[in-house]
Amino acid sequence: MKKIYILWMSMLVMALGCAKDVVSGKSTLNYYSLKDEPKFGNEVLVSQVQALKEKGKTVDTSTNAHELARLRNIVGRLSKVSHYPDFPYEVHLADVDVVNAWCAPGGKIMVYTGLWDSQKGLVQKGNDAEIAAVLGHEIAHATARHVTESLSRNMTIAVAGSVAQSAIGAGSAQGADLFGEVFVQGMNVFVPSYSRKNELEADRLGLMYMAKAGYDPRAALKLWQRAASKRGDSTSIYASHPSDGTRAKQIEELLPEALKEYEKARK
């Protein structure tokens, strides 16, 4: 009888969480509402800023004011054409030698200055289109709700094994765990960890976002081709880009469609 009850509860929870995702158009499993996303993202962001400052690292300083203003302008343009323009987007710049950037749920964005490091960086400093390619990709992870979908899948497994596990009541701290807190250079930095499927989806969505925002999508192709040819440790953006150029190939296939959106945006 207990096994039947557990199975019934599991089926009920899954039924409550299944719905059509407006971004992908596919049926998806997500127990969280859209209003939950900013809450999770803010916890991740606050935790990261605090961890960096405790190690003497600077965030949003006057020294980087020009680049921060550039990032805010780019995020402003990208967010307006995203699937969820009403998310409370915000972007921060940390003076940390890590080649990466991330967007937590609800549009909370962190960029590390190592992204444009002259030696190991990925983007050319001051190149708005290349920066838009990276930020468009990261914003896409938030609009596609990859974090809360992942949490929901994991909770389904937990619920199947115990009626005491509540899918809806899971602690939001789990959201931060998905960002893979890594100890590097004497400090903790968050490094997102997504599935290959999620990365490809973010590439596709991000490409369209940048094109619709008026940034040349051809910059994304060059960027991800460059990423595929480079190597880095687990904290870098290169870790999610296989050397066979799979992601760059998808971008190339999508480029004709993206260029049409780019031309519309320029009119």
pLDDT tens column, 218-229: 999 999 888 888
What the block records as the tokens of 233 is 């440790």
Torsion, Cα 48 219 37 11, to 10 degrees, reads -120
SS3 of residue 123 by DSSP: coil
- Most confident range (mean pLDDT) of 34-38, 159-163, 217-221 is 217-221
∠ CA 168-137-183, rounded to 5°: 70
Higher pLDDT, 112 or 192: 112
pTM: 0.83
Written as one letter, the residue type at 84 is Y
Question: What pLDDT does 237 receive?
Answer: 81
Contact of 98 with 112, CB cutoff 8 Å:
yes
Please state, in angstroms and rounded to a whole number, the distance separating the CA atoms of residues 248 and 214: 20
Least confident of 76-90, 136-150, 185-199: 185-199
pLDDT for 7 beyond 70: no
Placement of tokens 């899971």 in the chain: 170
Q: What is the largest CA-CA distance in the chain?
A: 66
* Residue 191 within any structural domain of the chain: yes
| Chain centroid to CA 11 | 30
What the block records as the tokens of 130 is 């290349």
Strand partners, 29: 18
* Residue 24 within any structural domain of the chain: no
Residue 149 confidence class, pLDDT cut points 50, 70, 90 = confident
pLDDT for 17 beyond 80: no
* Residue 21 within any structural domain of the chain: no
Range of the domain at 71: 36-145+180-266
* Residue 199 within any structural domain of the chain: yes
The radius of gyration of the chain's CA atoms, rounded to the nearest angstrom, is: 19
User: Which of 138, 149, 199, 201 is flagged as catalytic?
Assistant: 138
Read off the pLDDT of each residue in 96-111 and give the average, rounded to a whole number.
Answer: 93
Is 138 catalytic? The answer is yes
| Count, residues in the chain | 267
Question: What pLDDT does 234 receive?
Answer: 66
pLDDT for 23 beyond 50: yes
Strand partners, 104: 108
Number of folded domains in the chain?
1
Written as one letter, the residue type at 89 is Y
pLDDT for 8 beyond 60: no
**What DSSP designation does 12 have?**
H
SS3 of residue 125 by DSSP: coil
* Residue 120 within any structural domain of the chain: yes
Q: What is the DSSP string of 8-64?
A: HHHHHHHHHHEEE-TTT-SEEE--S-TTHHHHHHHHHHHHHHHHHHHTT--BS-GGG
Contact of 257 with 212, CB cutoff 8 Å:
no
Question: What pLDDT does 196 receive?
Answer: 85
* Residue 170 within any structural domain of the chain: no
